[in-house]
Amino acid sequence: MSIVLGRGQCGAHITLLFTIDDSSEDLVCQGSRGAGICLKDGVEAIAKGDNGSGEIIVRFKDGEYDSRMYQDVLSELVEEIPEIGNFDWELDIIMSLPTSQGFGMSASGAVASSMAIQRAIGIPHEECVRRSFLVAHIVERKRSSGLGDTTALSSGGVERRIAAGSPFSGSLLDNGPGVSQGWSVEIPILISWKEKTGRHTSSYIDNEDWRRKICLAGEHAMERIGKGEWKEHRWSELIEESLRFSSDSGLEEDASRSEIIESVKKAIDSSEFSESLSAMLCMLGESVVIVPKDPHGQEDWIYKISEELEGYGLSSFSSRVGALR
C-alpha cells in the first residue's frame, strides 16, 4: 500500500435554544431538539495514512487542544471500516474558532477528520459524508461533549432540529432518528468571546438542576418555533425565541455570561447600528453571536463593532451563515 491523503472540512455550529433528549440507552437516539446557526467557517482536517497498525498522531496548526476526541473518531471508523486500521494516520487540524465556547467545534472537528480519513482510502462521497455525521454524533455522545450539533450540521444553514438523534444510522446509512431542517441566506455573523476556556458542555447537561431548567425553557420554545414552514421569514422569531430561552433557562445569569452580554450591548449601543443588530448567547459557552435583524442586511457594521468589542477586552471573529448540505 502507498501513502494516502484526504481532506475534510465542516463549519461550526451555534446553538441558540435546545432541549436535552438523552434518556435512550442507544447513543444514536440521544440528542436534542432546538435551533441555531451553522457557519461557513469551522474545522479543516488533512489526513495522511501510511502502512501501519492504526496509530494516530494529531497536530494542531494554532494552539494546543485535546487530541483524544480524534483518537475516538479513528476507533469508531475502524469499527465501521476495518481497512482503516491497516494504516498509521497523521491528522493536521486547522481551527477557525476556539473550543469549549459554544461553537460546536468538537462536532465540526469530528465530522471533518472522519471525512478526511475516509476520503484518503477512497470512500464514495455520500457514504463518506453520512458516516462522518454518524461517527461524530456517537463520539459526541460518548464524550458528553455535545447533543445536537452534528444533526444541525447535517442540514446546514439556519437550522431547527425537530427530532433528536443522529441524522444517519444503520448499515445502509439511511435516515436516522434525528431530523434537522435548514434554510440559508449569507447572513453576516460576528462572534465574540472571552479569551479563556469555557465550561465543558457536560457540566450542564449532566447536572440535574440545569437539565430541568434548560429542558423546560427549551420545550416551551420548541412548542412555538417547531411549528409551521421553516424559511427566512422566521428569522426575527428565532432571535426573539433565543433571547427568551436565555432568560427562562437562567443561562444568561450563569458564570460570567451577564458580563459579556452587558459588554456586547454597550458596544452595539455606542455604534450607529444599535437599531439594526441583535446579540444572542451561544449555547453553552461564554460567548455571544451578533446578527443583523434583517437577514438580507449588509456587513458594514462588522469592523466597527469588532473595534468596540476589542475595547472591552473581547475577541471576535466574522463569518457567514453556511450553505445547506
So what's the pLDDT on residue 254?
A: 77
Top CATH class, 188-320: alpha beta
From first CA to last CA, the distance across the chain in angstroms is: 33
pLDDT tens by residue, the chain, 325 residues: 689 999 999 999 999 999 999 999 999 999 999 999 999 999 999 999 999 999 999 999 988 888 999 999 999 999 999 999 999 999 999 999 999 899 999 999 999 999 999 999 999 999 999 999 999 999 999 998 899 999 999 999 999 999 999 999 999 999 899 999 999 999 999 999 987 655 666 677 778 898 999 999 999 999 999 999 999 999 999 999 999 999 999 999 876 688 999 999 999 999 999 999 999 999 988 999 999 999 998 899 999 999 999 999 999 999 999 999 9
Per-domain residue ranges of the chain: 4-183, 188-320
Task: State the Cα–Cα distance between residues 250 and 229, nearest whole angstrom.
Answer: 29
So what's the pLDDT on residue 255?
A: 66
CA 229 to chain CA centroid, Å, is 23
Q: Which residues pair with 44 in a beta bridge?
A: 9, 94
Nearest 5 degrees, angle CA 174-CA 177-CA 183?
85
So what's the pLDDT on residue 199?
A: 62
Task: For residue 235, give the C-alpha cell.
Answer: 428569522
pTM: 0.96
Instruction: Using alpha carbons, list the distances in angstroms from residue 163 to 160, 178, 268.
Output: 9, 5, 35
Q: Which CATH architecture has domain 4-183?
A: 2-Layer Sandwich (3.30)
Q: Confirm if 135 and 73 have CB atoms less than 8 A apart.
A: yes
So what's the pLDDT on residue 195?
A: 79
